């Protein structure tokens, strides 16, 4: 049987449940799109980057993941439904407040982004409208393209070609994440047993079990969850160093 509900899941109980609920590698991964998108804007407005990171951490790191755990406790944490609801409502509401305050301070053109963000985080994670917004494409749009495009638009206060190109790249990266993580989740959370073997051309045999099937996709996810934050940090540093 697979060990743990995710490669980053801590032993259940207490504060560890809250860390696990945050999906730390994936939260950092999607916050990286914010940094990369922000770096495509012509001006280095550090205050806007900080506000964006706070808003997306609240909405994605806390809100979305609290709603996800509320829907059947897939991570098997011991956090009560009541606490999860408070975390979700409070964090998403605060994210919207941060977004509206940022729009008031910079440009009202950001309001559609705030509205869409507030809507999609709820519609996706609660599978509203018959799950219409809970698909691979919507995952790529909501967790990949949207953070990057929002950050780019916030930095430039308007559309830019680099912003749309980066959003497209982040969309594809999120699709790759989804493609890798879906079978891994199934192996860890809903597979009772796996058995089989692989015979190589030289006659050697390898036992096939859940760990064997998880190794490649999970290894790629681990590597990408480190690479994306480092890449984002490089983009941000480059933008801050630019004249």
Domain span at 45: 15-241
Evaluate whether residue 142 is within a structural domain: yes
For the chain, the average pLDDT equals 93
Residue 203 banded pLDDT, cuts 50, 70, 90: confident
Q: Is residue 5 part of a domain?
A: no
Averaged pLDDT for residues 3-27: 93
pLDDT grade, residue 167 (50/70/90)? very high
Answer yes or no: is pLDDT of 11 > 80. Answer: yes
Q: Model-level pTM?
A: 0.92
- 74, part of any domain: yes
Please say if the pLDDT value at position 64 is more than 60.
yes
pLDDT in tens, 140-154: 999 999 999 999 999
In a domain, 6, yes or no: no
- Predicted confidence band of residue 55 (pLDDT cuts 50, 70, 90): very high
pLDDT score of 1 more than 50: no
Domain count along the chain:
1
Q: What percent of the chain has pLDDT over 70?
A: 99
Closest by CA to 31, choosing from 122, 148, 137, 134, is: 148
Q: pLDDT for 88-140, tens place per residue?
A: 999 999 999 999 999 999 999 999 999 999 999 999 999 899 889 999 999 99
Per the domain annotation, does 112 fall within a domain?
yes
8 A C-beta contact, residue 50 and residue 34:
no
């Amino acid at each position: 049987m697979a060990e743990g509900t995710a490669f980053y899941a801590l032993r259940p109980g207490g504060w560890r449940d809250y860390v696990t609920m945050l999906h730390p590698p994936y939260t950092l991964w999607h916050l990286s799109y914010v940094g990369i998108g922000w770096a495509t804007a012509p001006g280095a407005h550090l205050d806007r980057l900080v506000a964006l990171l706070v808003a997306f951490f609240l909405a994605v790191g806390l809100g979305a993941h609290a709603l996800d755990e509320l829907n059947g406790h897939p991570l098997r944490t011991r956090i009560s439904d009541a606490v999860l609801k408070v975390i979700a409502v409070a964090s998403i509401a605060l994210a919207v407040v941060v977004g509206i305050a940022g729009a008031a301070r910079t440009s009202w053109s950001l309001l559609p982004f705030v509205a869409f963000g507030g809507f999609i985080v709820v519609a996706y994670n609660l599978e509203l409208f018959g799950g219409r917004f809970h698909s691979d494409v919507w995952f790529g749009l909501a967790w990949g393209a949207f953070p990057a495009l929002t950050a780019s638009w916030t930095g430039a206060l308007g559309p830019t070609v680099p912003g749309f190109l980066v959003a497209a790249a982040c969309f594809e990266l999120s699709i790759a994440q989804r493609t890798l993580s879906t079978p891994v989740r199934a192996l860890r959370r809903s597979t009772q047993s796996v058995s089989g073997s692989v015979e190589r051309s030289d006659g050697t045999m390898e036992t096939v079990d859940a760990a064997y099937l998880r190794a490649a996709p999970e290894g790629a996810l681990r590597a990408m969850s480190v690479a994306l934050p480092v890449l984002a940090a490089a983009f941000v540093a480059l933008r801050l160093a630019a004249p």
